[in-house]
């Protein structure tokens, strides 16, 4: 980390902003890439090393929007080629899951994209879902851009408030990530529990309906 910070501090002119933009873009194309770590460096450099806060903001936001559009495009491409999906995607359970994703994004896709930047490690998948649901490109750019702008503005605000203490900035972000992912995990567990309960109720109702349709046994005189 120290080597990366020193390298970025040594960059001159537009190259530093280009690195920030590309790192934000890669995060959506290759989610394991630690884009937020580089973003934190950018915020730190804006607060301590003479980087322009506006330049950092535009680079991070622009890179996020372009990366999100790339992930959306992949989702569109995937949705248009359903008949040629590999075998593991042709399973009925997978297809049902993808249909549910489409339905949810058709109903609430704007809200998902507005929240995407605040959910580490999951951001790219929101845009893939938007592509599967054929969300309009304008909506993707607007809501994805709004999310990135608010997030990056908050990062810069916190960065300038903390100042030169990069370790504290990194620790705050790590704590936020743990809380955010914990809430996502709780939401997933709650959703799974709700699904199991609904299925059991549906089966119980079917059993009762079948029993009622059979009627009482006939009595012979």
3-state secondary structure of 1: coil
pLDDT for 172 equals 87
* Residue-range definition of the domain harbouring residue 80: 2-165
Nearest to 45, CA basis, from 163, 173, 154: 163
Asked if residue 152 lies in contact with residue 95, where contact means CB atoms within 8 angstroms, the answer is no
pLDDT at 150 over 90: yes
Strand locations in the chain, DSSP E? none
Q: What whole-number distance in Å separates Cα of residue 20 and Cα of residue 57? A: 9
Does residue 13 belong to any structural domain of this protein? yes
Does residue 37 belong to any structural domain of this protein? yes
Each residue of 79-118: pLDDT tens digit? 777 766 666 666 777 677 777 888 889 888 999 999 999 9
Q: What whole-number distance in Å separates Cα of residue 32 and Cα of residue 14? A: 26
Does residue 81 belong to any structural domain of this protein? yes
Provide the sign of the torsion angle of the four alpha carbons 188, 193, 199, 205, taken in this order. negative
Does residue 137 belong to any structural domain of this protein? yes
Each residue of 20-73: pLDDT tens digit? 999 899 989 887 777 788 888 888 888 887 788 999 999 999 999 999 999 999
pLDDT for 221 equals 44
pLDDT at 159 over 50: yes
pLDDT at 218 over 60: no
Asked if residue 75 lies in contact with residue 127, where contact means CB atoms within 8 angstroms, the answer is yes
Please give the tally of structural domains in the chain. Answer: 1
Does residue 92 belong to any structural domain of this protein? yes
pTM attached to this predicted model: 0.79
Asked if residue 141 lies in contact with residue 69, where contact means CB atoms within 8 angstroms, the answer is yes
146-150 own/partner pairs: CB under 8 Å, 24+ apart: 146/114, 147/113, 147/114, 147/115, 147/116, 147/117, 147/118, 148/24, 148/60, 148/61, 148/64, 148/65, 148/68, 148/117, 149/57, 149/61, 150/117
Each residue of 183-205: pLDDT tens digit? 888 887 887 788 788 778 877 76
Does residue 44 belong to any structural domain of this protein? yes
């Amino acid at each position: 980390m120290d080597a990366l910070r020193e390298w970025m501090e040594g960059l001159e002119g537009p190259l530093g902003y280009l690195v920030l933009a590309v790192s934000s873009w890669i995060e959506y194309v290759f989610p394991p890439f630690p884009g937020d770590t580089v973003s934190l460096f950018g915020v730190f450099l804006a607060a301590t090393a003479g980087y322009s806060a506006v330049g950092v903001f535009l680079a991070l936001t622009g890179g996020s929007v372009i990366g999100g559009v790339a992930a959306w495009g992949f989702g569109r491409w995937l949705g248009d080629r359903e008949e040629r999906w590999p075998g593991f995607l042709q399973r009925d359970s997978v297809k049902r899951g993808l249909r549910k994703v489409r339905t949810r994004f058709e109903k609430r896709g704007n809200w998902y994209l507005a929240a995407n930047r605040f959910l580490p490690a999951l951001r790219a998948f929101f845009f893939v879902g938007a592509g599967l649901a054929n969300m309009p490109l304008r909506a993707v750019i607007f809501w994805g851009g709004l999310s990135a702008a608010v997030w990056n503005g908050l990062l810069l605000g916190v960065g300038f408030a903390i100042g030169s203490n990069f370790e504290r900035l990194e620790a705050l972000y790590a704590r936020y990530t743990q809380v955010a992912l914990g809430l996502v995990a709780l939401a997933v567990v709650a959703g799974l529990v709700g699904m199991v309960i609904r299925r059991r109720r549906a089966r119980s109702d079917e059993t009762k309906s079948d029993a009622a349709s059979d009627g009482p046994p006939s009595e012979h005189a």
